[in-house]
Amino acid sequence: MKPYAKLTKEERNEEYAALRAQYDAFCAKGLKLNMARGKPGDEQLALVSGIFDLMIRPENYISDGTDVRNYGELRGMPAAHRLFAEILDCKPEQIFVGGNSSLQLMYDLVSKGYTHGLKNSPRPWCREEKLRWLCPAPGYDRHFKITESFGFELITIPMTEDGPDMDTVEKYVKDPSVKGIWCVPKYSNPDGIIYSDETIRRFAALRPAAPDFALVWDNAYAVHEFEGDYVPFPDILSLCEAEGNADMVYEFASTSKITMPGGGVAVLAASEANLDYLCSLIGVQIISYDKINQQRHALFLKDKAHTLELMKKHAAVIGKRFKVVLDTLDREIAPLEIATWNRPTGGYFVSLFAMPGTAKRTHQLLKDAGVTLTGAGATYPYGKDPADSNLRIAPSYPPVDELQQAMNAMCLCLRMAALEQLGL
Ligand SMILES: Cc1ncc(COP(=O)(O)O)c(C=O)c1O
């Protein structure tokens, strides 16, 4: 196999015809395969099915003297505070445990900033003339959609292997209309990057012009190693506090990929002053979240050490799937020099950079062959990847044999799109 850039036009045409025949044969199978969303597979869900047995015992209804079946405890159950404070390495007083989705808590934060303002806002964001938000990209499409939906201008911040490019971040926060930034600091979605200590230090020491700038620290993959041991991670809350920025940071996490997506528990960690302020607003919209589920999770996960044991079991299941993706790309694509990709050791994604100008075409070819992938461009603000290059692979959900077939198809499509781009 020669690098495609070195092929003559005749060789490219010959190669394309051979690939086309394989592609047509694949399409004829009429398969429906999905590598689009980071969902745990059935084997992973089976690891946590014991959680349903816990709340049939009446002695479990009472936790720290509170009956979880009744109203109360807007900030969540103390047992859940202790569990998540240990996992995130912060103080239980800094934890708010909400409903079943951290994304919803993030939306709610932006929404409250918009309608009422955050704790240090001079006025609600809806009364500002201009609103801008920093979006490290490639990033998580659902983050970008939230701020887009509130009318923020989305500003792309390039990602480096140490996390967001901090020179660019530091430059933009001098603008008072920049109200916040989306960050996924550990096993970033989709690149799987762990922010370096230096990046984290510079985030904590930011001096934004906006007094209500929100550092949204979405630690969705805090304990999600699938290769190697747990990687300890600095507590952003205490780092910000040490820099005089205690109220700047809002850290999020959830058990969506520890227990069950949609059936888990979501967490916000923030300064006590921020939590007091937010609770004064949240208390208007809800009396209390689902404490039965919080108690179920506190009993099931017990503590950080026990949670990490469960994560090892998840790792054994999804590690195999990441190996299929990386081995296939190494074998089929690396020698052709038509794409590069990250090699994460945790999280839920492999981020692939196809030959510029070919991501959309690859996506379309795959779609026509019955393979669903997250839309090309989705990892960039407004769904527009300026290089038309990045594709996000989510290998966790399909069974291994289906994943292998989907990856074979992906390699075929990457190759066809690259040849078309080089000229036929
Ligand atoms: C970075 C990131 N944050 C949040 C979520 C969604 O979390 P939740 O299920 O808690 O809403 C995801 C899901 O893929 C994610 O990748």
Ligand 1 site, residue 261, Cβ cutoff 6 A:
yes
The Cα 343–Cα 346 span in angstroms is 9
- The mean pLDDT values, 10 residues at a time, for the chain of 424 residues are 96 98 97 91 96 93 96 98 98 98 98 98 98 98 98 98 98 98 98 98 98 98 98 98 98 98 98 98 98 98 98 97 98 98 97 98 98 96 98 96 97 98 97
pTM of the model: 0.97
CA angle in degrees (0–180, nearest 5) for 43-47-50: 135
Q: Which two tokens stand for residue 108?
A: 């709610």
Strands 153-160 and 163-164 come out as antiparallel
- Tell me, what's the pLDDT at 1? 83
Ligand 1 site, residue 185, Cβ cutoff 6 A:
no
Which of 218, 257, 318 for mutating ligand 1's site (highest number of atoms within 8 Å of CB)? 218
DSSP, collapsed to helix, strand or coil, labels residue 218 as strand
Place of tokens 């090892």: 312
DSSP, collapsed to helix, strand or coil, labels residue 27 as helix
CA angle in degrees (0–180, nearest 5) for 398-402-407: 100
Look up the CATH superfamily of 4-44+308-422: Aspartate Aminotransferase, domain 1 (3.90.1150.10)
Phi, psi for residue 218 in degrees, rounded to 5 = -85, 95
Q: Tell which atom from ligand 1 comes closest to the C-alpha of 256.
A: 9
- Tell me, what's the pLDDT at 356? 98
- Tell me, what's the pLDDT at 25? 97
For residues 276 and 93, is the Cβ–Cβ distance under 8 A?
no
Least Cα distance to 406 among 390, 415, 420, 395 occurs for: 395
Ligand 1 site, residue 102, Cβ cutoff 6 A:
yes
Return the CATH fold of 60-301: Aspartate Aminotransferase; domain 2 (3.40.640)
Q: Which two tokens stand for residue 342?
A: 């990250």
Least Cα distance to 261 among 142, 373, 147 occurs for: 142
DSSP notation for 192-217: -PPPPHHHHHHHHT---SSTT-EEEE
The strand pairing partners of 55, in sequence order, are none
Ligand 1 site, residue 254, Cβ cutoff 6 A:
yes
- Tell me, what's the pLDDT at 358? 98
Ligand 1 site, residue 97, Cβ cutoff 6 A:
no
Domain borders along the chain are 4-44+308-422, 60-301
- What is the longest distance spanned by two Cα atoms in the chain? 78
102 CA from centroid of ligand 1 (Å): 6
Which of 35, 87, 97, 102 for mutating ligand 1's site (highest number of atoms within 8 Å of CB)? 102
Ligand 1, atom 13: nearest CA belongs to which residue? 38
The Cα 290–Cα 251 span in angstroms is 20
Least Cα distance to 1 among 317, 411, 405, 319 occurs for: 411
23 CA from centroid of ligand 1 (Å): 34
Distances 373 to 110, 326, 364, 378, 406 between C-alpha atoms, Å: 28, 16, 9, 10, 10
Which of 37, 217, 256 for mutating ligand 1's site (highest number of atoms within 8 Å of CB)? 256
Ligand 1 site, residue 252, Cβ cutoff 6 A:
no
Helix %, strand %, coil % of the chain (to 5): 45, 15, 40
- Tell me, what's the pLDDT at 37? 83
100 CA from centroid of ligand 1 (Å): 11
